């Protein structure tokens, strides 16, 4: 079970009021969590006390797991912002040092894509991957060396795929620009037929 080798914290309820000793800090919510990566293009702020900051601060290599919406959607924090915290639509999973967070990033991805998280939650209304459910999900945990090998292999393969996707996206943009230019020149009569 996840609780036997990781600490799981559900983020803070929204707090829009300034209180004595509270500071206004960036936080992530479910919409910021994408599969395998975090989206920091639109990050909001709310108030946190010092004790809340200690509890909800995201550290490098923490997994961030969506509690609602697409339950179980997971990414890994790589210090995209200097300091950031969590709202209660996101779980923070911090692993003991004998476990490889990147291995679990890929494992959570697989669980999510094959319905492992979905089958754990109640569907009476909107699905929620509660703290109690998440910490009791069982995971396959090979020895640390094997975790590292699996994560390293997947990091390498995914990097190649990401580069290929980026290249194709640049080619698509170039073709769109060419199309726009062609239409513009044809309308202006600058093309000899």
Mean pLDDT of the chain: 90
Q: Which helix (H) or strand (E) holds 176?
A: helix 144-187
Full-prediction pTM beyond 0.85? no
Q: What's the rounded Cα separation, in Å, for the pair 83 and 128?
A: 27
Coil, strand or helix at 23:
strand
Backbone torsions φ then ψ of 39, nearest 5 degrees: -105, 110
What's residue 15's pLDDT? Answer: 78
What's residue 124's pLDDT? Answer: 60
Q: What's the rounded Cα separation, in Å, for the pair 4 and 13?
A: 26
pLDDT tens column, 114-148: 888 877 776 666 678 889 999 999 999 999 999 99
Q: What's the rounded Cα separation, in Å, for the pair 72 and 128?
A: 9
**Structure-token pair, residue 52:** 């809340």
**C-beta separation of 78 from 60 below 8 A:** yes
Using CA atoms, how far residue 175 sits from 61, 189, 191, in Å, is 38, 21, 18
Average pLDDT over residues 10-23: 85
Question: Is residue 62 very low, low, confident or very high in pLDDT (cuts 50, 70, 90)?
Answer: very high
């Amino acid at each position: 079970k996840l609780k036997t080798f990781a600490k799981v914290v559900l983020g803070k309820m929204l707090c829009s009021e300034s209180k004595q000793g509270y500071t206004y800090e960036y936080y992530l919510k479910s919409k910021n969590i994408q599969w395998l990566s975090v989206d920091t293009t639109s990050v909001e702020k709310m108030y946190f006390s010092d004790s809340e900051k200690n509890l909800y601060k995201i550290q490098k290599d923490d997994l961030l797991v969506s509690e609602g919406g697409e339950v179980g959607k997971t990414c890994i924090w790589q210090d995209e912002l200097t300091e950031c915290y969590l709202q209660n639509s996101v779980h923070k999973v911090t692993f003991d040092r004998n476990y490889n967070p990147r291995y679990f990033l890929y494992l959570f991805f697989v669980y999510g894509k094959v319905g492992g998280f979905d089958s754990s939650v109640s569907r009476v209304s909107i699905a929620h991957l509660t703290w109690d459910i998440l910490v009791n999900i069982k995971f396959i945990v090979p020895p640390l060396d094997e975790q590292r090998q699996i994560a390293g292999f997947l990091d390498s393969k995914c990097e190649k795929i990401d580069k290929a996707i980026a290249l194709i996206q640049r080619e698509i943009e170039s073709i769109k620009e060419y199309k726009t230019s062609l239409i513009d020149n044809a309308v202006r009569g600058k093309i000899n037929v």
